[in-house]
Amino acid sequence: MGSDDLFRKLKAKASKKKSREIEKKEPYSKFLIVCEDTVSGYHYLLECIKHFRLSSANFHLVGLGQDPLNIVKEAERILKEESRSHKPDFDFAFCVFDRDEHSNYYNAINKIASLNKNQGSKCLSINSNPCFELWLLLHFVYTTKSFDKTQNKTAAKNVEAELKQHFPNYTKSNRKIFQETFENIETALGNAEKLERYCNTSFVDVPFTNFHTLMKFIMSIKKS
């Protein structure tokens, strides 16, 4: 399923949930994000949530700092735990992780697919290959460069090096990345969608990111 189809499905389900819960005065559905990153990607999402003023009662973000498979397992654990509690269930869980050099990257993607056979589209993979910084790079340029590992740098480090050519202020510890790149968000969305089409037609998965799916959904909540 392409990101556009997934986005429409998510938005339709959220709108349906919203209409059912008008009496409760809950403006949108409840979401969980479990993020591999505890630095750049995590703080990017934190700032994004603040920017769009999403309610903490409806949006829960976890920075786990573990490998992709454990990200999915943690999302599964939280979903099961909440389903057994008195609290309303999460409508979706977004698992955000990178390929980087993780050996279980594809295992994580496959586990999500397996979970969804029983849970519908409740658990969603937001994955980047090789890394989150590709999403940031797409704010400035469109690229299909594979960013292979070199003798001295990982693929992710090579993406970071190219990103810094366009965004010199970038460091993983920079907590203002969202604000500093937001003016180019429409460029990033368009470039990410174009890259996804390229990957689908060329049967490749590097470089790849579907981070735009999560961003489009967050942005649609505020427009609802």
**Mean pLDDT value across the chain:** 88
Q: What is the pLDDT of residues 108-160, one digit of tens each?
A: 999 999 998 876 668 999 999 999 999 999 999 999 999 999 988 999 999 99
Phi, psi of 33 (to 5 degrees): -120, 120
Q: Compare 31 and 5 and report the one with higher pLDDT.
A: 31
Asked if 114 and 145 count as a contact pair (C-beta separation under 8 A), the reply is: no
CB atoms within 10 A of CB 44: 25
Q: How high is the pLDDT of residue 25?
A: 37
Task: Name the domain count of the chain.
Answer: 1
Phi, psi of 209 (to 5 degrees): -155, 140
Q: Compare 136 and 25 and report the one with higher pLDDT.
A: 136
Q: CA 190, CA 177: separation in Å to the nearest integer?
A: 19
pLDDT band at 22 (very low <50, low <70, confident <90, very high): very low
pLDDT band at 8 (very low <50, low <70, confident <90, very high): low
What is the extent of the structural domain holding 133?
A: 3-223
Q: In what order do the strands lie in the sheet with 123-129?
A: 59-63, 31-35, 92-98, 123-129, 208-209
Least confident of 3-7, 67-71, 170-174: 3-7
Q: What is the pLDDT of residues 153-206, one digit of tens each?
A: 999 999 999 999 999 999 999 999 999 999 999 999 999 999 999 999 999 999
Element containing residue 6 per DSSP (H, E): helix 3-20
Q: CA 67, CA 188: separation in Å to the nearest integer?
A: 26
* Res 24 pLDDT > 90: no
pLDDT band at 19 (very low <50, low <70, confident <90, very high): very low
> How much is the average pLDDT of 70-83?
90
Least confident of 48-57, 180-189, 204-213: 48-57
Can you tell me whether residue 195 is helix, strand or coil? helix
- Return the percentage of the chain with pLDDT > 70, whole number: 84
Give percent helix, percent strand, percent coil of the chain, each to the nearest 5. 55, 10, 35
Sign of the alpha-carbon dihedral angle for 187, 161, 46, 58 = positive
Q: CA 75, CA 19: separation in Å to the nearest integer?
A: 26
Looking up tokens 């996804």, which residue turns up?
196
> How much is the average pLDDT of 100-107?
96
Asked whether the bond before 168 is cis by omega within 30 degrees of 0, the reply is no
